[in-house]
Structure 1
Amino acid sequence: MGAQEQEEDSAPSEGKKHQKTSKDVYFCVLPEKYEPLIEEEEETEEERRKRKEEKRRKRKNRCKKYRKNVRKALSFSWRCLLAGLESMASAYSTPLSAVATVATEVNRASSKA
C-alpha cells in the first residue's frame, strides 16, 4: 500500500517540470515612410581637432575656477590660523600679573558701557 502511494505522489511532480515550448514570433510589414537609421559619417580630421580643442578649453576653464576657489579657501584658513596663533602667543608670553590687570580693566570697561 505504501509503495502505491509513493508512485502516485511522484507522478504529479513529473508533470510539474518545465517543458520546452516554442516562442511566438510576430512579423510586420514596414510602412512606406520607414527610414532606417544611418550611421554617422566619419568626421574629418579638422572636425576632430576642433572638438578636442573645445573639450580642452572647457576643462582648462573648469580647472581655473577650481584653483581660484581652493586658493580663496586656503588663504582664509591660513589667516584664521595665524590670528589664532598670534592671540595664543600673546596670551602665553605676557606675565600673569599683566593678564590679571588687563582682564580687570576689560571687565570695568565693559560694565561702564
Structure 2
Amino acid sequence: MSYDLAVWEGARPEDDKTAGRTFTALYDRYVDTEDEHPPTERIAAYVAALLERWCDLTEDVEDTSPWSTGPLIGEASGPLVYFPMRWSMAEEASTYAAALADSMGLICFDPQHNRLRP
C-alpha cells in the first residue's frame, strides 16, 4: 500500500475542488499519455531536493527510503510530479514533501483526500 502526492507548478488553486480539477487536467495531459514530457527545471529541482533528504529507491541499500518507485525523477512529467511513498513512512515523508513544495513555490495536492497541502 502506498500514499501518493502530486506537486506541480502554477498558481495556488482557490480551494480543494479547483485543485482536484487542476490535478486531473495535469494528470491527463502529462501522465496518462503516451507522449513523453521531460520534467521542468523547477520540478527536477524539487525532486533533487527530496533526494537530498532521502535516497532514491534505486540506491536504497539500508531500506530507509520512503519512495515506492525509483528512480523518483521517473515520476516527473512536465510541470507535474506524481509520486508514491511507502505507507509506513507516509506521514513524515509527505509532511516534508509538502513543506518543501511550499518553500519552492510549488503546489502540493493529496489525491487520496482530494485536498491541498500543507
Fold match by TM threshold 0.5: no
Instruction: Determine which structure has the larger strand proportion and give its number.
Output: 2
Instruction: Determine which structure has the larger helix proportion and give its number.
Output: 1
| Structure with the larger RCO, 1 or 2 (CA within 8 Å, 6+ apart) | 2
> Of the two, which has the highest radius of gyration?
1
TM-score range for the pair, normalised by the shorter chain length: under 0.3
TM, length-normalised to structure 1: 0.21
